[in-house]
Amino acid sequence: MTYNCNCKCSYCFVQDSGSDIRMASRTLDKSIDWIVRNAGKNIQIVFLGGEPTLEPDLIERAVQRCKSWERCHPVTFTFTMTTNSLNIDEQLAAKLAQWDVQYLLSVDGYGERHNKSRPARFTENPFGVIQSNFPVLKKYQRNITARLTVLPSLVKGLCDDLVKLYEMGFDSFIVSPATGVRWTGENLNLYIEEMVRFSSNRPIKNGCPVPHISPVDDPDQGQNTWGCAAGRGRFSIDPLGKIFACGRMTCLNDEDGLVFGDVFNGINLAGNINAFQDTSYESRLDCIDCTLREKCIGGCAAVNWDATRSPVQPDPDQCRMTHAFQEIKQRVYSRQTAVSV
């Protein structure tokens, strides 16, 4: 919706982050119309940025246009959003609830550790703003997920961060190592130990560990196919109306070869979209002999592109991360099985 943002994270992949580039109303309308005409009956709209809450009028316009389509077309929408929450006061929280927009929060740690990872443009203590506003957020949305992007320099102490954030009131976590930065073997091993430490000590409720933490509790994804839904069941539209495989790619330029088309003229079906349609092992020959090929989808296509200039050629660092995730799962669930026995 916008590349404007009130944070200045060092690992941000949006090249124009902080700029005033925003989606025009006409482009927004065309985007919703294009989605309806090219998607199925159940559509999930994810509002991204930049920081999407800096454009509440655009969010409202999008929701209202979707509701208009629901009244005249066999389609149902759900709305989600990733936000740093710094711009959400009680008035906006109430509106988001009225518009049925569910949100998860980008929180990279507790206290100053978050501030080091996600500095803001208008305050030296962004975590203090989140902490102050959190009761309002919980008032209008009962369950809130924290999305943590972990920097190598801040991985030590991750377990304590998760404990404090859970005590603060977060209900679940998505914990991902930052991409595009160097992870040494020591850093990665420390990430494994911190994740195992937190994940192994969770109580079991209704047969499931609480809180839920991704990727520890996620099911294996491979199953004889490559790739996520990017470019097939999921697309992203940038503020100018250009269509990409996913939100991670929307900051790329036309010459990068990943633009599918735009909402005004449609997708070029003979063009870049075809690189995302082959889901066979043959499209990722480097993965055929990997012991984790049934537990992996070949990595994020956007991160692969950044590292290898190919959406299907795996980024070596992502391969290391996949093996780390698997080690965490094995250690956590072997401990839980031993305890239950």
Q: Which two tokens stand for residue 301?
A: 């296509």
Residues 62-84 as b/e (b if ≥16 CB within 10 A, e otherwise) read bbebbeebeeeeebebebebbbb
For 250-288, the DSSP string reads TTS-GGGS---EETTTEE-TTTGGGGGT--SGGGGGGGT
Would you state the pLDDT for residue 13?
79
Residues in the chain: 341
What is the residue-averaged pLDDT of the chain? 89
- Would the pLDDT of 234 be above 90? no
Would you state the pLDDT for residue 341?
45
Distance from C-alpha of 205 to C-alpha of 208, rounded to nearest angstrom: 5
Q: How far is CA 218 from the centre of its chain?
A: 14
Q: Which two tokens stand for residue 187?
A: 């850093």
Distance from C-alpha of 63 to C-alpha of 78, rounded to nearest angstrom: 9
- Would the pLDDT of 200 be above 70? yes
For 222-234, the DSSP string reads -SS----SBTTTB
Question: Which residue is listed with tokens 């991985």?
Answer: 155
Q: How far is CA 210 from the centre of its chain?
A: 21
pLDDT band at 336 (very low <50, low <70, confident <90, very high): low
For 112-175, the DSSP string reads HHHHHHS-BSS-S-HHHHHHHHHHHHHHH-S--EEEEEE-GGG-TTHHHHHHHHHHHT--EEEE
pLDDT, tens only, 242-300: 999 888 887 655 555 588 999 999 998 888 888 888 777 666 777 778 888 777 777 78
Domain ranges of the chain: 25-214, 236-324
For 192-236, the DSSP string reads HHHHHHHHHTPPEETTEESSEEETTTPPP--SS----SBTTTB-E
Would you state the pLDDT for residue 16?
59
CATH architecture under which domain 25-214 falls? Alpha-Beta Barrel (3.20)
Higher pLDDT, 17 or 27: 27
Coil, strand or helix at 47: strand
pLDDT, tens only, 121-159: 999 999 999 999 999 999 999 999 999 999 999 999 999
Single-letter amino acid code for the residue at 117:
S
> Average pLDDT in the 86-93 region?
97
Q: Do 38 and 116 contact (CB within 8 A), yes or no?
A: no
Q: Which two tokens stand for residue 23?
A: 């989606």
> Average pLDDT in the 89-96 region?
98
